[in-house]
Chain A
Amino acid sequence: MTGPTNNALGWMLDEVLKVPEARHAILLSADGMLRAYSKDIDRDDAERLAAGLSGVQSISRSTAEFCGTPHTPWRQTLIEFADGYVFLVAAGEGAYLAVSTGEDVDMEAVTYRMHKLVDRLGKELTSPARQDTGSPA
């Protein structure tokens, strides 16, 4: 157990929003808890999105066999809406980074920035498995 996020890493997420058309960024742990969020998103909304995005990742991963090889590692999920996109990538062990953008975004620029951010945050982004829970490690 930890506290609700204090958003100490939020300022780092704001960096990714420098890409034209980028809207919001959220960092979540694989168990669906919010780790950090960019400046223009409300914490309540960010917490709900973190839970939903963890489900998106889980379900995305479960479709690996459809891709041909059941154990191929998941890298990214891209969701397209009428007016934009949501990008979801791995952010170290047990963490994911999500960024939303407008429809005219340069997709390569966003994913490049996202991976840069993941690299920069390095260890800070790693969600160590909780030691004090009843769930399996």
Chain B
Amino acid sequence: MGSAPASEPATGEVHLRPGVQTAVKLLVVGHFAVGKTTFVGALSEIRPLRTEEVMTEAGAIVDDLAGMTDKTTTTVALDFGRLTLNDRLVLYLFGTPGQQRFAPLWHDMTRGALGALVLADTRRLGHSFEVMGVLEELGLPYAVALNQFDDAPAHELDEVRDALDLLPETPLVRCDARDRVSSTRALISLVEYLLTRIGHLEHT
């Protein structure tokens, strides 16, 4: 981050120039039905942008609906919401459609993004690899948040970290995408991670 004072150590805290609001674009990504739209909607302080369409049967064959009987719509373009974290940091959240057929839009949306929050579901952890792979290819740093579904098996975070083969520094947290406080906490762990990385880059 060009505006951060170079003399400050990277402590993982949010260091920003006083009196100046910084806009940060973040992606909210993850496989189909992991809770991305719910997450952006719960967090946004403005009316969120939604592009939900009722799923057709042709789509449902492709989209994995196992265990998702109440999901009737799917995101066809993007979700968008804004969250002012404090008087210095405004987060712009862009949620992407999870399905592979939307990949070109997904790639365009990474433009200008500082990082991504990967939502994951312990019932289908394997579905997260594709998204994490794309982020790694693009060099976009990310944190992982386990969206806690009611009937999901409770795994220790260490086990999940192993199963997802995460780097030791990649933040891994739990959240409830329906809950504003819990979701905000997940985003803060991403933001702190991003600022720490930027700090490291500046000091090397």
B and A form one assembly: yes
Residues of chain A whose beta carbon lies under 8 Å from any beta carbon of chain B:
1-4, 29-33, 44, 47-48, 51-52, 54-56, 58-59, 62, 130-136
The reply on B92 being an interface residue by CB < 8 A is yes
Would you list the 3 A-B pairs with minimal beta carbon distance, nearest first?
A31-B112, A51-B80, A58-B108
**Contact assessment for B2 and A47 in the assembled complex, using a CB-CB cutoff below 8 Å:** no
**Contact assessment for B46 and A58 in the assembled complex, using a CB-CB cutoff below 8 Å:** no
Between-chain CB contacts (< 8 Å), 14 pairs: A4-B23, A4-B90, A30-B108, A32-B25, A32-B109, A48-B48, A51-B94, A52-B77, A52-B80, A56-B77, A59-B105, A62-B104, A134-B115, A135-B112
The reply on B78 being an interface residue by CB < 8 A is yes
Give A136 to B137 CA distance when docked, in angstroms.
10
**Contact assessment for A29 and B108 in the assembled complex, using a CB-CB cutoff below 8 Å:** no
Residues of chain B whose beta carbon lies under 8 Å from any beta carbon of chain A:
1-3, 20-25, 46-49, 51, 77-78, 80, 82, 90, 92, 94, 104-105, 108-115, 138-141, 194, 198
Residues of B within 8 A of A135 (CB): 110-114, 138-140
**Contact assessment for B25 and A33 in the assembled complex, using a CB-CB cutoff below 8 Å:** yes
Cross-interface CB contact of A132 among B2, B46, B94, cutoff 8 Å: B2
- How far apart are A37's CB and chain B's nearest CB, in angstroms? 14
**Contact assessment for B80 and A134 in the assembled complex, using a CB-CB cutoff below 8 Å:** no
Cross-interface CB contact of A130 among B48, B78, B112, B194, cutoff 8 Å: B112
**Contact assessment for B77 and A31 in the assembled complex, using a CB-CB cutoff below 8 Å:** no
Give A108 to B65 CA distance when docked, in angstroms.
47
Chain A's closest residue to B97 (CB) is: A55
Residues of B within 8 A of A132 (CB): 1-2, 198
**Contact assessment for B111 and A48 in the assembled complex, using a CB-CB cutoff below 8 Å:** no
**Contact assessment for B111 and A51 in the assembled complex, using a CB-CB cutoff below 8 Å:** no
Residues of B within 8 A of A29 (CB): 112
**Contact assessment for B2 and A33 in the assembled complex, using a CB-CB cutoff below 8 Å:** no
Chain A's closest residue to B202 (CB) is: A132
**Contact assessment for B77 and A134 in the assembled complex, using a CB-CB cutoff below 8 Å:** no
Give A51 to B78 CA distance when docked, in angstroms.
8
Give A22 to B111 CA distance when docked, in angstroms.
30
Chain A's closest residue to B137 (CB) is: A136
Q: Using A32-B25, A44-B46, A48-B48 as known contacts, list a sample of 15 further A-B pairs with CB atoms less than 8 Å apart, ordered by residue number in A.
A: A3-B20, A3-B22, A4-B90, A30-B108, A31-B111, A32-B92, A33-B92, A47-B46, A48-B46, A51-B80, A55-B109, A58-B108, A133-B112, A134-B113, A135-B111
Cross-interface CB contact of A55 among B77, B82, B92, B113, cutoff 8 Å: B77
Chain B's closest residue to A136 (CB) is: B138
Residues of A within 8 A of B1 (CB): 1, 132
Give A36 to B74 CA distance when docked, in angstroms.
31
Give A48 to B92 CA distance when docked, in angstroms.
10
Given the contacts A33-B23, A33-B25, A59-B77, A133 and B113 also touching, CB distance less than 8 Å: yes
Residues of A within 8 A of B47 (CB): 44, 48
